[in-house]
Chain A
Amino acid sequence: MATLSADIGVTYRMRAGDLGALFSTLHAANFLTIGPRLSGEAIILEELNGPEDLPVGWGDEQEAGRYRLRRRADQAFFGYNLGPESWKKFLTPQRQLLWRARRQGATFTIEQPERLGGGPQQLAFIGVRACELAAIRVQERVREVSGQPANDLIDAKCRVATPFLVGVTCAQSAATCFCTSMGTGPALGPPGSSGVGYDLALTEFPSEDDHHFTIEARSERGADIASHIPRQLATEEECDAVRQQSDTTAALMRRHLKLDKPAQLFQDSLEHPHWDEVASRCLSCANCTLVCPTCFCTNIEDTSDLSGDVAERWLRWDSCFHLDFSYLHGGSVRQTTRSRYRQWLTHKLGTWHEQFGSSGCVGCGRCIAWCPVGIDLTVELEALTLSPEVTGVQTGKYEHP
Chain B
Amino acid sequence: MRRERLKKMAVWKFASCDGCQLSLLDCEDELLTLAGKIKIAHFIEASRAVMRGPYDLSLVEGSITTPDDAERIKEVRRESRTLITIGACATSGGIQALRNFADVREFTSIVYARPEYIHTLAQSTGIADHVKVDFELRGCPINKRQLLEVILAFLKGRRPNIASESVCVECKARGNICIAVAKGVACMGPVTQAGCGAICPAYDRGCYGCFGPKEHANVNSLRADWSEQKGLSPLAMERLFHTFHAWAEPFRQAGLAAKQDLTPEIQRIEAECE
Contacts and interface: CB of A to CB of B under 8 A. Distances in A.
Interface string A309-322: 00000000101001
Interface in A297-328: 301-308, 317, 319, 322-324
Most buried by B among A65, A287, A322: A287
B180 A372 contact: yes
Contacts, number: 127
B73 to A, nearest CB: 29
B225 A398 contact: yes
B109 interface: no
Choose among A337, A370, A373 the residue with the greatest number of B CB atoms under 10 Å from its CB.
A373
A285 interface: yes
Contacts of A373: 190, 221-222, 224-225
A395 B63 CA distance: 43
Contacts of A323: 164-165, 215-216
A369 interface: yes
Contacts of A304: 152, 156, 158
A374 B180 CA distance: 11
A65 B221 CA distance: 13
Interface in A256-306: 280-287, 290-291, 301-306
B267 interface: no
Contacts of B158: 302, 304
Interface residues of B, number: 42
A229 B46 CA distance: 67
Contact of A286 (B168, B187, B229): B168
Interface string A37-73: 0011110100000000000000000000111110000
B175 to A, nearest CB: 7
A372 B222 contact: yes
A94 B221 CA distance: 28
Given A39-B177, A324-B164, A374-B229, A287 B156 contact: no
A400 interface: yes
Contacts of B152: 304-306
Given A304-B156, A372-B222, A374-B225, A42 B169 contact: no
A46 to B, nearest CB: 9
B190 A372 contact: yes
B177 A285 contact: no
A308 B155 CA distance: 10
Contact of A41 (B155, B183, B190): B183
A80 to B, nearest CB: 13
A323 B164 CA distance: 7
Interface string A341-384: 00000000000000000000000000001111110000000000
The SS class assigned to the B binding surface is: helix
Contacts of B169: 285-286, 290, 317, 319
B191 interface: yes
B177 A65 contact: no
A282 B183 contact: no
Contacts of B205: none
Contact of B172 (A282, A290, A305, A369): A290
Nearest to A68: B182
Nearest to A337: B216
A319 B191 contact: no
Contact of B229 (A41, A65, A322, A369): A65
B229 A370 contact: no
B98 interface: no
A336 B163 CA distance: 17
A95 interface: yes
A337 B218 contact: yes
Interface of A: 39-42, 44, 65-69, 84, 94-95, 280-287, 290-291, 301-308, 317, 319, 322-324, 336-337, 369-374, 397-398, 400
Given A285-B168, A322-B164, 10 more contacts: A40-B177, A66-B229, A284-B166, A285-B191, A290-B172, A291-B172, A304-B152, A306-B148, A323-B216, A324-B165
25 contacts: A41-B183, A65-B180, A65-B181, A66-B184, A68-B182, A84-B181, A280-B218, A282-B221, A283-B222, A284-B166, A285-B166, A285-B168, A285-B169, A290-B168, A302-B161, A317-B169, A322-B163, A322-B165, A323-B216, A336-B216, A337-B218, A372-B178, A373-B221, A374-B229, A398-B224
